[in-house]
Structure 1
Amino acid sequence: MIRIERVFPKDILTLQKVVKETYLPYFRYLWHDEGKAYLAAMNDLFVLNQHLQNPFNQYYFACNEQGEILGYLKIILFAPVPEEDLPLALCIDKLYLYEAARGKGIGKALMNFAETKAREEDPQINCLWLRVMDSNPYNLDFYAKHGFNVLHKRWLDLPQMKEEYRGILTMVKKI
């Protein structure tokens, strides 16, 4: 059984550790510096604390029955879909799992949780959206299986990112 627990500012050091440990195994291939600069910026304590203080940014840990963290989810409430006329949306900003937790239904549980959270927060929220690297077929397939469709593709302009991996897709699921 999976427990989904809200992350609060008191949990910031645990969150920082989980972010680092779940990001690098999957995405170091994208970067010339193996993701060090990106992770340092994304996982900075000041940045994480700002996110945790913002009521629209919500982090959740997925835990097993023993309380071991298996991954995390970050959602952004009332986040309009960029470049689209979809203002009542919830963004799944981050969904990362430890490698050992993949294929065990944890990602599905987090996706279902995000959808339920959107409905609970405001019944007018009519879609979920996320961004995913186009070079990540495992995640693309996972999101497609959960009802997400590609809206558009754009290119990231991040100096440390390898040129061939800069494609990112915006995907949407109507609810």
Structure 2
Amino acid sequence: MKNGIHPWPMNEVDALCELSRTTFVETFAAQNTEEDMAAYLDSHLSIEKLQEELTESSAAFYGHYVDGQAVAYLKVNQAQTQTEQVSFEGLEVERLYVLKAHKGKGLGKALMVYAEDLARSEGLAWIWLGVWEHNVAAISFYQLGGFAAFGSHVFQLGSDAQTDILMRKRLR
């Protein structure tokens, strides 16, 4: 695949599964139990679950490719596929992950700009997301990008009910 951001190919669910699981473990394994991580990976990042999500008409995955390999990815949701039914017209960034070896190279920012452009092209006024309250680096990243907190919700990681801060950014 050519370098840059591209829609995730439907026939590459295995690669999406591997990237999703690897980035999730790199990001959260140190702060969570093996049991809770395994439960989440099995229920939310399995090949079957990702295949189902890839076919959702109001959700989309995008990969950021470097040297022909996907090293980061983005999942966005609209309408009924959003994890929360918000009271404003917005695009949800459900997942934005970068492989540890590629962090600090602007790939996450590029994916977020891409998501904002998608939202604008749909005429949406907001872009929003949920971020774990203990993921200080991600919260800072989103704040620097113009996001502000507007609420919270529970993110179930295995048996651990965690709190995600809901953040949004006005686009128009």
TM over 0.5: yes
What RMSD in Å do the two structures reach over aligned CA positions? 2.1
Deviation at 1:81, TM superposition (A): 8.2
Query: Which structure has the highest strand share of the two?
Result: 2
Taking the TM superposition and a 5 Å limit, the aligned residue runs for 1:111-126 are 111-120=112-121, 122-123=122-123, 125-126=124-125
TM-score scaled by length of structure 2: 0.89
Q: Which residue of 2 aligns with 1:170?
A: 166
Q: Which residue of 2 aligns with 1:130?
A: 129
Q: Which residue of 1 aligns with 2:149?
A: 150
TM-score scaled by length of structure 1: 0.87
Number of equivalenced pairs: 168
Q: Which residue of 2 aligns with 1:107?
A: 108
Matched to 2:129, the amino acid is: L
The whole-number CA distance in structure 2 between the counterparts of 1:78 and 1:169 is 20
Percent identity for Structure 1 against Structure 2: 24
Taking the TM superposition and a 5 Å limit, the aligned residue runs for 1:43-122 are 43-64=45-66, 66-78=67-79, 82=84, 84-86=86-88, 88-120=89-121, 122=122
**Is the 1:76–1:91 contact (alpha carbons within 8 Å) kept by the matching residues of 2?**
yes
Deviation at 1:94, TM superposition (A): 0.2
**Is the 1:2–1:106 contact (alpha carbons within 8 Å) kept by the matching residues of 2?**
no
Change (3 A) 1:156 1:48: closer
- Deviation string 1:90-142 (CA, Å, 9 cap, x unpaired) is 0000000100111111011000000111112x22x100010000001000000
The whole-number CA distance in structure 2 between the counterparts of 1:49 and 1:91 is 19
**Is the 2:154–2:164 contact (alpha carbons within 8 Å) kept by the matching residues of 1?**
yes
Q: Which runs of 5+ in 1 are unaligned?
A: none
**Is the 1:71–1:98 contact (alpha carbons within 8 Å) kept by the matching residues of 2?**
yes
1:38 to 34, 37, 40: 40
- Deviation string 1:33-80 (CA, Å, 9 cap, x unpaired) is 25011011111222111111112111011111x212211100113466
Q: Which runs of 5+ in 2 are unaligned?
A: none
